[in-house]
Structure 1
Amino acid sequence: MEYIPIVILVLSFISFLLIGVPVAWSIAISSLLTMFASIPVLPALTTVSQRIGTGLDSFALLAIPFFVLSGQLMNKGGIAHRLINFAKTLVGALPGGLALINVIAAMLMGSIAGSAMASASAMGSILGPEMEKEGYSKEFGAAVNITSSTIGLIIPPSNVLIVYSLASGGVSIAALFVAGYIPGILTGLFLMLVASFWAKKKGYKLGERSTFKSVIKTFSGAFPSLMLLVVVIGGIVIGIFTATEASAIAVLYTLVLGFWYKEISLKDLPQILLDSCGTTAIVMLLIGASMSMSWVMSYENIPQNISEVLLGISDNKIVILLIINFLLLFVGIFMDMTPAVLIFTPIFLPIITKLGMDPVQFGIIMVLNLCVGLCTPPVGSVLFVGVGIANTTIEKVVKPLLPLFFAMIISLLLITYIPALSLWLPSLFGL
């Protein structure tokens, strides 16, 4: 087994991160240094630059800028208030009602907007002060907001699942989208159980029970937003359009909805487009750099070497899956979700294929693993957003955050060892 390429790749990548080099450049430069150990400088430069360019040459990736734009339109279009009002009528009278509202609304907002940070920002800004006014501690409110905002990344439409489809060599995006529903809802339910228990233990007061009339009223206000999920996912599953075409339809739908709600005007569009371009540029640079690293690892046989090591530890499927989960949780602590999916999918996919696991199920497992990483320092972007909006500190949020982490881990283990949770719905639709 040749260790030199692995050592160069890992050490250079970690070193660049430690001195503050942006993630995308750290990935690209460490890939280049690894190639220098195998081939001359000029061919190495040419190869890595070509791989960055060809890594973006995919029709499926066109869906990402469109979903980013639709998310921006949704975020500016008054969707969060309507989702919160609807969630409030459903669970507001239960123990920890406002926390449960946060979980449900964040899941819906995260899936519609396609961004955990957008969800955390919207829910924290709107529900945070209200929870504090009702006697909830700001740390508990921040912990619930941080963890629940990530769950929308499993529930479609999800840009991360599109990235996984690309990294895995063409796993069906439609199957991945449909597979995300039950795991996402299950994880949300676990968070709600923990939040409700914590609120009851702390003695937070209950909200007022909603009338059937108020439920219908808030549902009618949120219905057009919720229909986006039906239109996008329904169209993909039925076969009316592809995921890329669905993303363009999502932009048109959210634009019309924003004008209909009178929350967006023509003067808002230039800034929305600029914000979307900025986000898309960052994501695409990460994807291009990560695809170059994936190619370099393949060229140096790094995935095969790691596969041999893991399978050499044990031939027990339960043990290997536990090790992979642990490694992904560790990776999620230090690396952003998009490059982590692109880099580690080619490493772990051959292993889980040998173990007989469906790649669709593994995609959901990987994304949920990395969702946990979004809530942890030092690269937990959602953690920093949630803590910043709540005007508190990470140290104070850790205590209420730990039981919610535990709930996410329990859900992850169930999804890992019960394939039907991910595969039943795709098989039902013949995907």
Structure 2
Amino acid sequence: MIQQSNQQPIQQPIQQPICDSASQCSGNGTEHSWLGHGVAVSKAFVKSLIPMEDPRLSFNSRKAVKDLLRLATTTILPASSILFMAKDMANAWSGNGLPGPDAKPELPQTSKETREEAQEKEPCSKTVPLQQPSTARYQGSQGAKGLLALGTLASSFQYANSKQINNAEDLGKIGRDPEFPLNGTYQQTADIDVTKDYQSIGNATHPFTGDYYGQCRTISGLSDCFVDTLQGSISDLQFTRANITNSAKPTGLAACVVDDTGTVRNIRAKDVHIVSSGHSADAGIGGGWVKGMVANIMAVDSMVKTVGTYADVGIGGGSVDAGGTVANTTAVNSRVETLGKYANAGIGGGAVGGKVANTTAVNSTVKTSGHDADAGIGGGFLGLMYITEQERLPTPRR
């Protein structure tokens, strides 16, 4: 049985990751070729320049500055790389490959979905077609198109300067080895099984501010959050067989805390179990405490649970702050549960003060048992009413 919240979409459509022959997602762990780099670059420059929740064409200043700094510090590239980047810039400037003036943005489905349709939307699915962004984003001036072209070039340098992560040893060096800084750019090039003593990347005082591109690879066996405090980005990554137990702080799979500048995109979690038992120790798959952006999260055969008072729980995020956004969350055969007082539970978010959109539950359960603890699909408790009342779809308590 499918339960889907009747929520309004956020302004920017969220693209699913593409795992085809043109991208590293379906590769064998080798570096990106510049010939097959077009899809990845196109996605990267759009993400760099355009805030996902803003309907106007504008800069994401933090990301743009970071890319320009990378561009300024890079001096040498192979001639073939420059040729392909120039082609990308020309396409961006002329608008090639973008929807025409008669194109209409894709609207969310309103009909009842089957289990197969829900699974086709999952992150890193190899059958998901390449979706073009809304035409409203790109009907701007030549100057705006020039900015997109510049973003293409900066993103190309970003990939060129990234460091490959292909085993647990390399992963453990991030933030602990001078050659693997917390502000670095990383590409995972192989599936990784971590050890039981895995420690999260960064912490509250030293957050991860870089970019981690999973390329649809898998990390198995996490016993703690992948990243502790995220001020950068994590994208196109799969997790399996994670078993995370925490009692002292917010707990998440991708990140314990997604800070206001942090972004988590295109995450698939299978056979993941997260249990938090502390006071206000929120828990979630995308993030335990979400202040930034979490988009395209799918949980399959997974469970997220909190025991403590004021400990909210969700698949997208446990607690979603006023500035936070959770979009396109899907739970399949999964369970979200709280036991404590004032501890709310939802598929999109447990306690929502920000924005939640496009939430789907397939054969999944949301349950609370404590005093004044609410439950729902989109959100359990809607705090500051950034979600309208009709967007809330309660789930029967069991």
Q: Structure 2-normalised TM-score?
A: 0.29
Q: Which has the larger helix fraction?
A: 1
Structure with more contact order per residue of length (Cα contacts < 8 Å, sep ≥ 6): 1
Q: Structure 1-normalised TM-score?
A: 0.28
Q: Which has the larger strand fraction?
A: 2
